[in-house]
Structure 1
Amino acid sequence: MNVTKKVFGYKNNQPVKLYTLKNDQGFQLSCMDYGCIITEMIAPDRNVEMENIVLGFETFEEYENNPHFFGAVVGRFAGRIKEGAFTIEGTDYQLAKNSNGHNLHGGPKGFHSVLWDSKVIESEDEAIVEFTYASPDGEEGFPGNLSMTVRYILKNDSNQLVISYSGKSDQTTLLNVTNHSYFNLSGNFKRTILDHGLTMKSDEYLELDEELLPTGKLVSVEEDPLFDFRSGRNIREASATEHPQTKLAGNGYDHPFLLNTSEQPSIELTDEESGRKLRVETTEPAVVLYTGNGVGGPYSIRGVEAQNYLGLCLETQSPPDSVRHPHFPSSILSAEEEFKSETTYTFVLV
C-alpha cells in the first residue's frame, strides 16, 4: 500500500489536503478533506490500461463551484425535501430552499462544502482515510449537535473500496448521507455512459412529480419494464423514450429504487468495451440512479468537454423526502442513537 498527502488548495485560509491511496494491484483513489470529495479513481481495463473512472476536476478552485456535487459526501440529508420543511416530534423545522424552492442534499452549506478533519490509518491489508465533522445544532436548519465519521477504506488484495458512515446526534434529527460520485467505466471519459449496462436487484421504484419529488407511489418494475433492471438493461434506451417519468427527469433516470438488500451485490454496472465492471453492495434500503442528464454545460472535466450522460451516480441511501411518506424507510435518527451505513464498491473485469 502507498499513501501520499499534499495541499490541494485553501479554503478560508485553511489548507485543503488531498490524499492518494494506491494498492499493490495499481488501483488508486484520490480524495480530499473538503466535502470528503473523491476526485479520481484509477482502475484497469481488460488490457490493464489504468484510467480514471469518476468525474472530477484537476484544481480545487473548480470544486468551489461544484453544482453537480462531483464525488462529494452529501448531507445532512441526501436528496430533496419538499419546500425545505419538516416536522419531528411536534417541532417544525425550515431548511434552505436551494433547488427550485426545495432543499437539496442538505443545503448550500451541507457536508459537501465544509472542511472535515482527516487522518490516515494504514495496515498491511488496507489503507483508510478517516474524515470527521461536528455539525452544530441548527446548521443549515437541522436540529441537534451531530458528530459524523466517514471512512474510505481501500483494500490491498483487491480493487475494492468500502465507504462507511457513522453519526450520532444529541437531539432527534434527520440523517441520510451518500457519496455522489459519477462513474464512467469507459476510462478517461472516452465515451458517455449511454452504452453501460446496469443490473439492480429492485422490484419497485419511486414515482416522481414534475419537481423530482416522490409522489409517494411505489411502482412495481414488472408494470414498468423501462425501470426493470433485475436482469440488466442498457442506459441508452431511457434517453430516447417518451416515457413521462424519464422525460421529466431530463431524458434519463433520476429515480430512487428500493433495493432487495438481501440480494448482494445489489447493483452491477458494466462497460463491455473496456471490460470494466463495478459491483455495489450496501446496507442502505435504496439507491438513487442519476444518469447525468443535466451535467452538460460550458465547462470541461479534466480536459473533456462536459456533456449530458458523461457519468452516472449510484447514490445508496434512504429515499428522498421520506419524512413526508411514512411508508418509506425512515431517515429519522433518535437522540443518542448511532447511525451506521456501509457501501462496498468492487471493481472487476468481465
Structure 2
Amino acid sequence: MAVSKTIFGEIDSEPVYLYKISNKNQTSISVLSYAATWQNFEVIEDGKKHSLIEHFDNLDDYIKTPYQVGKTIGRVAGRIKDASFQINGVDYQMEQNEGENLLHGGSHGLQYQNFESKKVAENAVLLSHTVHGEDGFLGTLKVNVEYILNDDNEVSIIYSAETDHDTLFNPTCHVYFDVDDENIRQQKLQINANSFLKVDDGKIPTGDFLATDGPYDFKKAKTIGQGLDELALLNKYEYDDAFVVDNRAATIKSDKRAVDLYTDRNGMVIFTADPKDTEKTEKHEYSSLAMEMQTLPDAVHHLGFGDIVLGKGQKVVYTNKYKYRRFE
C-alpha cells in the first residue's frame, strides 16, 4: 500500500492537494482536499487502465461544475422542504437556495470548502473541516471524512461529526459511476429496494413510499437503458429518485467488471447525467449514473425516513463502501 500527495491547484490562495492511494493490485483512488472529493477510482486489467467514475483532471472544472462531481455533499444531502425544520421544539430557518427549499446544505456547504488533509495510514487519508453557522445552521460542526482503500479493492468512506449545537447531519459522496468504456445505457444496475420515495414537482418527498415497479424495478439486474426506455413510456426521461435500501444497496456492472455498494444508512439517490456535457444531459444522453448513499432525503420532516438530527455534544459516524470486482 502507498499514499502519494501532490498539489492539484489553488483556491482562495490555498493549495488543493490530491492524494493517491494504491494497493497491491495497482487499484487506486484519488482524493482532493477541495470538497473532500473522490477524484478517481482506477483499476488496471491486463495492463490497461480503467477509470470507474466520472472525473475531471483540473481544479477549475470541479469548481465550475453544477453537478457536484465526486464531492462530499452536506451537511445535509438532498432537499429540505421550505428550508426549515424543528428540533426539540425550536424552529430553524435556513437559506433558501433552490426556490423555497434548501438544497445540499446551502450555498456554503461542504461541497464548496477546502478541507484540511493528511495521510493517517498507508492506505488512508483524513479530511477535516469545521463550519460555524453557515447558511442559517447554528453552532460549530466538526466534520471528518476518511477515505480507505484495502487490498480487497474495497473503498470505505467514513463520515464523522460532532457539534456544540443541535443540528442536522446527512452527508454523501456525489460520485458518478461509469464502469466501462461504453454508453451508460448498456451497463446493468441492480438495487436492493422494494420501494422508493414519491416526490412533488419540486422533488420534495411527500412522505409516501411507492413500490419499485416498472422502470423503478431493479431488484434483478437490468440495463440502465431498459429502465430509461420504460421511463419514457411515462413521459419521464431521467432518474433522480431516492430508493429505500438495505446494507448491500446496489451493484453497477458491465460484462467485464462491477462495483458493489454498501451503506449503514437507508437510502440511495440515483441521478442520470453527463457532467461534462450539459447539452447531452438536456437531450437525455447520459454518460454516468450518480449513486448517492445517505439517509432518505428530507428525513427531518417524515417519521420512518431515518434520524438525521445530531444533538449538542453528540457524535455520529456513517460508512459507505464500494467494492470493485472483475469478471474473468
Q: Is the 8 A contact 2:71 2:175 kept in 1?
A: yes
Question: What is aligned with 2:33?
Answer: 33
Given that 1:239 and 1:246 are in contact with CA atoms closer than 8 Å, whether structure 2 keeps it comes out as no
Which segment is superposed worse, 72-81 or 325-334?
325-334
TM-score norm. by structure 2 comes to 0.93
- Is structure 2 residue 229 aligned with structure 1 residue 266? no
Q: Is the 8 A contact 2:296 2:305 kept in 1?
A: yes
Q: Which amino acid aligns with 2:291?
A: L
Equivalent in 257, 265, 274 of residue 276 of structure 1: 257
Q: Which residue, out of 180, 184, 187, partners 2:178?
A: 184
Corresponding letter in the other structure for 1:277: A
Matched, 1:257 2:243: yes
**Equivalent residue, structure 2, for 1:302:** none
Q: CA deviation at 1:293?
A: 7.0
Decide whether aligned partners of structure 1 residues 48 and 281 sit closer, same or farther in structure 2, where only a CA change above 3 A counts.
farther
Measure the CA separation in 2 of the matches of 1:82 and 1:244: 29
CA offset digits 1:181-200 (Å, max 9, x no partner): 101001xxx32311111112
In 2, Cα distance between the equivalents of 1:48 and 1:256? 37
Change (3 A) 1:63 1:293: closer
2:131 is matched by which residue type in structure 1?
Answer: S
1:65 Cα deviation after fit: 1.1
Return the letter of the residue paired with 1:132: S
Distance 1:200 1:282 in 2: 12
* Cross-structure match for 1:88: 87
Give the alignment partner of residue 166 of structure 1, picking from 157, 160, 166.
160
Instruction: Determine the structure 1 residue equivalent to 2:207.
Output: 216
1:235 — aligned with what? 224
| 1:235-285 CA-partner distances (Å, limit 9, x unpaired) | 1123233568771xxx12211111133xxx33111112xx11001111111
Matched, 1:345 2:322: yes
How far residue 231 of structure 1 moved from its aligned partner, in angstroms, is 1.7
Partners of 1:246 and 1:23 in 2: CA distance: 45
Superposition pairs of residues 1-350 of structure 1, within 5 angstroms: 1-45=1-45, 47-123=46-122, 127-136=123-132, 138-155=133-150, 157-186=151-180, 190-221=181-212, 224-242=213-231, 247=236, 251-261=237-247, 265-272=248-255, 275-292=256-273, 296-297=277-278, 308-350=285-327
Q: Which amino acid aligns with 1:16?
A: V
Query: May I ask how many residue pairs the two structures share in their alignment?
Result: 326
Stretches of structure 2 that go unaligned for 5 or more consecutive residues are: none
Deviation sequence 1:25-79 (CA, Å, 0-9, x none):
111111111100111111135x452121211211111211121000000001000
Letter of the structure 1 residue corresponding to residue 204 of structure 2: L
- Flag the 1:172–1:246 CA change in 2: closer, same or farther, 3 A: farther
Q: What is the SS of the residue equivalent to 1:266?
A: strand
Once residues 265 and 142 of structure 2 are traced to their aligned partners in structure 1, the CA distance between those partners, rounded to angstroms, is 20
Whichever residue aligns with residue 124 of structure 2, its letter is: I
Q: For each residue in 1:299-332, what CA deviation from the matched residue of structure 2 results, as whole angstroms up to 9, or x when unmatched?
A: 9xxxxxx984211111110111111212311211
Letter in 1 for 2:272: T
Structure 1: tracts of 5 or more residues without a match: 300-305
CA distance in 1 between counterparts of 2:320 and 2:285 reads: 26
